[in-house]
Amino acid sequence: METEQEKSQKKFHHADDCPITSTIDVIGGKWKPPIIWLLLKEPMRFGDIHKSMPGMALKVLSRSLKELETDGIIIRTAFPEIPPRVVYSLSDKGESLREIMKLLSQWSREHIMKLEEVA
Amino acid sequence: METEQEKSQKKFHHADDCPITSTIDVIGGKWKPPIIWLLLKEPMRFGDIHKSMPGMALKVLSRSLKELETDGIIIRTAFPEIPPRVVYSLSDKGESLREIMKLLSQWSREHIMKLEEVA
DNA sequence: CAGTATCCTCTTGGATACTG
DNA sequence: CAGTATCCAAGAGGATACTG
């Protein structure tokens, strides 16, 4: 009998069709994982996210947030105040990434950070 | 009491320190996931991997394989024959990605492909 | 405060030709 | 067969100045 993995492997012939690639497209890149990771803890304002990521250019943050919003991972809520206040939070779809994020983080601690201790 | 997630979030202030980012660095990019996915099924020769990924440039494949080898994910075995034969297989560390890959693939099927059916 | 606009560099990805 | 070498295009990432 055919396994689940074999079934889904038959589905793709190009990388674009690979189910894993399409997930990486959504959560991949240098800054999206830390952004999701932060928002998994609590909703945050634009400026606070920025402050939490020293080194990330403003443009990169705003583009990342826009893409995550387009992909339905996060929700942007703007309050019509002066000065403006914008809060980003995870959608249900974004929340559903929690287990994956935990696994990715765990794998890193077990397979990457331990090497650094040795080095 | 402090959760596991809170503990590891304290550890990073830059994206480079984010544990999830360092995992994405290893398995991210356009072609690495499909390569790992293929090798999770069985060891494969260079040419066969190439044939399985139409559209991927040779240079990209060889660079990806080299990086995966450097990161300890795959093992390169060259047989001293003419014509040469080189087989790539997963290391234990690569094999340990199986659960993550399954989750990523599953998430895609549940949250991305279903949208395409509607569209 | 929450972004845009501009200009820049570096990496990734890609097509094609060539080699041990 | 299993790659390299070369040249090129596109996008990600980054620093800084500006705006509603």
* pLDDT tens, residue by residue, A21-77: 899 999 998 999 999 999 999 999 999 999 999 889 999 999 999 999 999 999 999
Q: With CB atoms and an 8 Å threshold, state whether A33 touches B53.
A: no
In whole angstroms, what separates CA A81 from the centre of its chain? Answer: 29
Top-level class of domain A12-118: mainly alpha
Residues B90, B76: Cα–Cα separation, whole Å: 9
Q: With CB atoms and an 8 Å threshold, state whether B18 touches A6.
A: no
Tell me the pTM.
0.85
The 8 Å CB, 24+ separation contacts for A110-115 are: A110/B96, A111/B93, A111/B96, A112/B19, A112/B22, A112/B23, A112/B26, A113/B19, A113/B22
DSSP SS3 for A82: coil
Residue B54 has pLDDT above 60, yes or no: yes
Q: Which nucleotide is nearest to A15 (CA to C1')?
A: C13
DSSP-derived secondary structure letter, B30: S
DSSP SS3 for A55: coil
Those nucleotides of strand D lying less than 7 Å from any protein Cβ are 1-7, 12-17, 20
Residues A81, A10: Cα–Cα separation, whole Å: 52
**Considering only CB atoms, which chain A residues are within 8 Å of B35?**
none
Query: In this predicted structure, what is the pLDDT of residue B55?
Result: 84
Residue A15 has pLDDT above 90, yes or no: no
Residue B11 has pLDDT above 70, yes or no: no
* Residue of chain B with shortest Cα separation from A16: B30
CA nearest neighbour of A101 among B103, B33, B30? B103
Q: A84 — contact with chain B (CB < 8 Å)?
A: no
Q: With CB atoms and an 8 Å threshold, state whether A24 touches B111.
A: no
Nucleic strand D near CB of residue B44 (< 7 Å): no
